[in-house]
C-alpha cells in the first residue's frame, strides 16, 4: 500500500482537478495517504519570473486550504489526507518567506528548489525547470553548467539546514534538460561530490528524499533521482518515499507499482510515511 505526498491541483495554475477529485482517485487506487503540496505563494518582494511561476497566488491560498480540509472530512476513514505546500528556498527574501509560512500552518512541507537566484542581469528570478531555452540562457549568464549545479545543490543543503520541511522534492531536478548529458556529466566525480555532500546534510537533518516518478514523463525521461543517486541513498540508509508530482487526478500515484518493483530489486525495503 502506497502513499503519495507530492500532488498539485488546479491551484498550481497549470494543474487540473479539485482536491476532492484527487482524493476520490487516490481512494480508488487504494492509497493509504494523500498529501497536497501546492506551490506556496512567492513573497511579494521577489522579482517574479516573466515566464510566470507555478506558485499559487495570494488570493488563492485560503480557498486551497479550505478545499483540502473539506476533502479531509469527506474522506475520513477512507484515506489519510494531509495539507501541505511545496516550498521554495529564496535566500534573498528568507525573512519574508518564514513570516508567510508561519501564517499558514500545514501538516507538512515538501522543500524543492525551482529558482536558482536571478538572471537577466539580476532582474529576474531564474526558474531552472521552465524550458531548455531559459535554462541555457541562465546557465550562460551564471558562468556555465558547473557553477549552476554547484549552486543548485548548495541551495538544497542550506534549505535543509535552515528549514524543517519533512520531504525533499525532486532531488536532482537540475538534470531536467540535460538530455544525453549535453551540458554536464552526471557521472563525473565533481557532480557526484555535490550530491554526496547534499545527501550527508539530508541524513543529518532527518529529511525524507522523495523518489519522484514525474521525471519519467518529462524532458529527461527518467525519475528523480537517478539510479546512481538512488544507490548512494541506499548506501546511506536515507528514508525515502514515493511521489507522483501529479498535476491532475489520474496522475496520482502514477507508476508507483512498477517503480517500487524496480527499487526493491535495487535493495530498497521500505518507504517512510508521514
Ligand atoms: Zn517541484
Ligand atoms: Zn511539485
Q: How far is the CA of 110 from the centre of ligand 1 (A)?
A: 9
DSSP run (H or E) holding 136: helix 132-142
Number of the ligand closest to the Cα of 38: 2
Q: How far is the CA of 30 from the centre of ligand 2 (A)?
A: 22
State mean pLDDT over 171-175.
Answer: 97
Q: Distance between alpha carbon 195 and the CA centroid of its chain, in Å?
A: 16
Instruction: Give residue 216's pLDDT.
Output: 81
Mean pLDDT for the chain? 94
Neighbours of ion ligand 2 (CB under 5 A): 86, 245
Number of the ligand closest to the Cα of 174: 1
Q: How far is the CA of 73 from the centre of ligand 1 (A)?
A: 27
* Secondary structure class of 112 (helix, strand, coil): coil
- What is the reported pTM? 0.95
Banded model confidence at residue 237, pLDDT cuts 50, 70, 90: very high
Say if CB 109 and CB 84 are below 8 A apart. yes
Parallel, antiparallel or unpaired: strands 124-127 and 115-119: antiparallel
The CATH code of domain 3-266 reads: 3.20.20.140
Instruction: Give residue 152's pLDDT.
Output: 98
State mean pLDDT over 50-62.
Answer: 85
Number of the ligand closest to the Cα of 35: 2
**33, 42, 6: which is closest to 166 by C-alpha?**
6
Q: How far is the CA of 79 from the centre of ligand 1 (A)?
A: 24
Biggest CA–CA distance in the chain, Å, is: 53
Q: How far is the CA of 185 from the centre of ligand 2 (A)?
A: 25
Map out the domains of the chain as residue ranges.
3-266
Q: How far is the CA of 251 from the centre of ligand 2 (A)?
A: 12
pLDDT over 90 percentage in the chain: 86
Instruction: Give residue 165's pLDDT.
Output: 97
pLDDT digits (tens, 9 = 90+) for 182-211: 999 999 999 999 999 999 999 999 999 999
Instruction: Give residue 123's pLDDT.
Output: 75
Spatial separation of the C-alpha atoms in residues 149 and 135, rounded to whole Å: 12
pLDDT digits (tens, 9 = 90+) for 9-24: 999 878 899 999 999 9
**262, 266, 212, 258: which is closest to 235 by C-alpha?**
266
Banded model confidence at residue 54, pLDDT cuts 50, 70, 90: confident
Q: How far is the CA of 168 from the centre of ligand 2 (A)?
A: 11
How many residues does the structure list for the chain?
A: 274
Instruction: Calculate the alpha carbon distances from 193 to 187, 198, 222, 229, 273 in Å.
Output: 10, 8, 21, 11, 29
pLDDT digits (tens, 9 = 90+) for 23-43: 999 999 999 999 999 999 998
Banded model confidence at residue 175, pLDDT cuts 50, 70, 90: very high
- Residue that is written with C-alpha cell 480508488 in the block: 28
Spatial separation of the C-alpha atoms in residues 177 and 119, rounded to whole Å: 18
Neighbours of ion ligand 1 (CB under 5 A): 112, 169
- First and final C-alpha spacing in the chain: 14
pLDDT over 70 percentage in the chain: 98
Q: How far is the CA of 252 from the centre of ligand 2 (A)?
A: 12
Instruction: Give residue 236's pLDDT.
Output: 97
Q: How far is the CA of 112 from the centre of ligand 1 (A)?
A: 6
Q: How far is the CA of 7 from the centre of ligand 2 (A)?
A: 6
State mean pLDDT over 231-236.
Answer: 98
Instruction: Give residue 217's pLDDT.
Output: 83
- Residue that is written with C-alpha cell 557532480 in the block: 191
Instruction: Give residue 245's pLDDT.
Output: 96
Instruction: Give residue 45's pLDDT.
Output: 77
Q: How far is the CA of 144 from the centre of ligand 1 (A)?
A: 23
Number of the ligand closest to the Cα of 5: 2
Instruction: Give residue 221's pLDDT.
Output: 83
Number of the ligand closest to the Cα of 244: 2
Amino acid at each position: 500500500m502506497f502513499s503519495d505526498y507530492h500532488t498539485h491541483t488546479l491551484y498550481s495554475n497549470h494543474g487540473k482537478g479539485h482536491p476532492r477529485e484527487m482524493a476520490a482517485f487516490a481512494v480508488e487506487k487504494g492509497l493509504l495517504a494523500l498529501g497536497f503540496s501546492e506551490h506556496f505563494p512567492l513573497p511579494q518582494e521577489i522579482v517574479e519570473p516573466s515566464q510566470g511561476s507555478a506558485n499559487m497566488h495570494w488570493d488563492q491560498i485560503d480557498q486551497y486550504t479550505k478545499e483540502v480540509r473539506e476533502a479531509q472530512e469527506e474522506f475520513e476513514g477512507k484515506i489519510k489526507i494531509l495539507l501541505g505546500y511545496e516550498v521554495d528556498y529564496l535566500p534573498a527574501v528568507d525573512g519574508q518567506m518564514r513570516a508567510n509560512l508561519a501564517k499558514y500552518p500545514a501538516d507538512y512541507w515538501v522543500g524543492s528548489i525551482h529558482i536558482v537566484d536571478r538572471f537577466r542581469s539580476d532582474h529576474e528570478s531564474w526558474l531552472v525547470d521552465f524550458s531548455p531555452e531559459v535554462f541555457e540562457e541562465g546557465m550562460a549568464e551564471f558562468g556555465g553548467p558547473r557553477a549552476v549545479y554547484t549552486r543548485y545543490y548548495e541551495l538544497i543543503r542550506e534549505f535543509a539546514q535552515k528549514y524543517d520541511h519533512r520531504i525533499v522534492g525532486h532531488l536532482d531536478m537540475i538534470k531536467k534538460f540535460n538530455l544525453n548529458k549535453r551540458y554536464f556529466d552526471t557521472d563525473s566525480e565533481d557532480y557526484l561530490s555535490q550530491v554526496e555532500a547534499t545527501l550527508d546534510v539530508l541524513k543529518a537533518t532527518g529529511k525524507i528524499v522523495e523518489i519522484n516518478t514525474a521525471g519519467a514523463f518529462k524532458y529527461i525521461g527518467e525519475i528523480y533521482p537517478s539510479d546512481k543517486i538512488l544507490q548512494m541513498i541506499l548506501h546511506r540508509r536515507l528514508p525515502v518515499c514515493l511521489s507522483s508530482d501529479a498535476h491532475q487526478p489520474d496522475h496520482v500515484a502514477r507508476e508507483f507499482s512498477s517503480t517500487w518493483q524496480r527499487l526493491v530489486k535495487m535493495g530498497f525495503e521500505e518507504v517512510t510515511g508521514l
